[in-house]
Amino acid sequence: MVHEKARINSEEILIEKLTGKHNLTNFRSYEPELVSFLIEDALNNQKQNLSLTFLWLYKGRITGYLTLLTDRINLEGDLKEFFKEKDIHYKSLPALKIGRLCVHDDFLRRGVGALMVASAIQIANEINQTKAGCRFVTLDAKRNPDKSKDSLHFYKRLNFKTLKERKKGTTPMYLDITSPNDN
């Protein structure tokens, strides 16, 4: 398969909620666990109200998928102090979690991953405006010994902060979607 290198814009993307009618068999990623989640678990989780999965289509092909669910962050350490100074004394605060996010190997480094993160942030802001309080976007960044495949660096570039540093497996991260000017 030839890699097309041009960046993909949001206007070229069609977003569809996952259904049993989608053909997922051609989806490939260097992270096999994220392929098996999409093919084996995503729809079932959706039926059980555990998460929602959105497919990102470009010219009829699945370029990536984004799985979302609700979450909370327990306030500890620096984060607890940060909110205490704002007179916020709750033990935990509400969040929207990126449960899974994966770009098809054929479409890497064309901006799709960053667009999916921006879409999750936009959804969290919409929830805040119209449905329920939501302070953070959270995720567990998948670590990979190969730096070019380590999603921690991808999320750091998008301003996510590390909640607990872990070298292997996954590292929990968060983004505070409320700017200081909003307070």
Ligand X SMILES: CC(C)(COP(=O)(O)OP(=O)(O)OC[C@H]1O[C@@H](n2cnc3c(N)ncnc32)[C@H](O)[C@@H]1OP(=O)(O)O)[C@@H](O)C(=O)NCCC(=O)NCCS
Positions that interact with ligand X (CB under 6 A): 29, 31, 34, 100-103, 108-114, 141-142, 148-151, 153-154, 157
Smallest gap from residue 75 Cβ to ligand X (A): 24
Smallest gap from residue 140 Cβ to ligand X (A): 7
- SS3 at position 131: coil
Which is closer to ligand X, CB of 16 or CB of 105?
105
Which tokens go with 16? 């569809």
Smallest gap from residue 63 Cβ to ligand X (A): 8
Which is closer to ligand X, CB of 38 or CB of 75?
38
Which tokens go with 105? 């190997």
Q: What is the 3-state secondary structure (H, E, C) of 88-104?
A: CCCCEEEEEEEEEEEEC
Which is closer to ligand X, CB of 94 or CB of 172?
172
Residue with the closest Cβ to ligand X?
113
Which is closer to ligand X, CB of 26 or CB of 178?
26
Residue partners of 28: CB distance under 8 A and separation at least 6: 35, 104, 105, 106
Nearest alpha carbon to residue 167 among 149, 143, 146, 147: 143
Residue 13, phi then psi, degrees to nearest 5: -105, 140
Smallest gap from residue 105 Cβ to ligand X (A): 8
